[in-house]
Structure 1
Amino acid sequence: MITLGWVRMTALYNAWQNSGLRRDVQALDAGEATRDRGAFFGSILGTCDHLLRADKMWLSRIADGPEAPPGGIAESRNLTPDVAAWAARRKATDTAITRWAEALSDCDGDLTCSSGALGRDIARPMAVLLTHFFNRQTHHRGQIHAMLTAAGVEPEDTDLPFMPEPA
């Protein structure tokens, strides 16, 4: 279904896109970043926090990495106290995702993990879960992009073919 090359490319794309989000969100004043915009997670920062929490949760599942943050979806919009804290944790998480992708040797087989949303364990093909991991990131970045645009920010390109070559 997917290849190691796809996983690595998508991890780099995620880091590139989140770098732009960090720049754009940090350029907002605190009131703009935290203003309720009627989105599912309220504000720009609330949606950024949700995305970060979910990335950390999924990374704990697929990489046997650090423990997932406490709480569930309802609390995910309040993961960090402010934009600066979010930006630092976002950058560290993107580094962890990229390093994990580089070290990944196999994306075959099944993974069993606990789903808080379903309240039970699930077993799914690793390829399906990795596709979900990266697709969900794109979905939530799209929500953030729309809120940034409405706030008068012009985010940079999001097209994969325009991603800079890795250094």
Structure 2
Amino acid sequence: MTELAYKDHLRLMATYNSVMNARLIAVLTPLSDAALLESRGAFFGSVLGTLNHLVVADLMWLNRFRPQPYGQVLMALDALPKPAALADLLYPTMAELTPVREELDGLILRFIEQLSDADIASPLSYKNAGGVPFTKTLGLVLSHVFNHQTHHRGQVTTLLSQMGLDIGVTDLAPLVPDLTAP
């Protein structure tokens, strides 16, 4: 059995995040923006409301990482909005949201790839959206970021199921490397 480094876990989660977001985009793109903006009783109202929440949360987290010594790869964030609230609807259409989601997923992959083990174990001091200060380990915060994505994508897949749409298997297991494979 091989030893699993935490960076391997983060790399797997970043890949899973990107793959699942691409799968959602493929299913959602043919649908009307009106259908995707329709309030369906979700915490962020609609499919697009929920997807915007994920973009907003990613922007907030990545901007917290940006000023750190390991944050240089995140300079592309300077061209993106700095949301004020977790429910901000920055992109009311799939045509507007898709390129930003894809850019963020690529940025997250590059960010994870360049982190050292020391970076992953380092403390991150930040304030949450309510202004409350925290200091937590970067690697564990990144686990939260990926878990948050999975949580809300699950809400979106439920909304899609209620609309009669199925995006297929969303499990992480198919991306987990098989140790017996050649």
TM-score (norm 1): 0.89
1:35 aligns with 2:38: yes
- Aligned partner of residue 153 in structure 1, secondary structure: coil
CA offsets 1:25-77 (integer angstroms, 9 cap, x no match): 11212221111001110000000000111012112223433256221124x2x
Question: How far did 1:164 drift?
Answer: 9.1
Contact 1:111/1:124 (<8 A) preserved: yes
Contact 1:114/1:121 (<8 A) preserved: yes
Within-5 A mapping of 1:38-77: 38-63=41-66, 64=71, 65=74, 66=77, 69-74=82-87, 76=88
Contact 1:32/1:151 (<8 A) preserved: no
Aligned mate of 2:97, from 63, 86, 96: 86
1:131 aligns with 2:139: no
Aligned mate of 1:109, from 122, 142, 153: 122
- Aligned partner of residue 136 in structure 1, secondary structure: helix
Contact 1:16/1:163 (<8 A) preserved: no
Q: Which residue does the alignment assign to 2:22?
A: 19
CA distance in 2, matches of 1:38, 1:23: 23
Count of aligned residue pairs for this structure pair: 162
Aligned mate of 1:158, from 148, 165, 170: 170
Question: How far did 1:148 drift?
Answer: 0.9
Contact 1:109/1:125 (<8 A) preserved: yes
Amino acid at match of 2:125: T
Gaps of 5+ in 1: none
9-18 or 103-112, which deviates more: 103-112
Higher Rg of the two aligned structures = 2
TM-score (norm 2): 0.82
Alignment root-mean-square deviation, CA = 2.0
Contact 2:12/2:176 (<8 A) preserved: no
Question: How far did 1:20 drift?
Answer: 0.5
Contact 2:47/2:159 (<8 A) preserved: yes
Question: How far did 1:7 drift?
Answer: 0.6
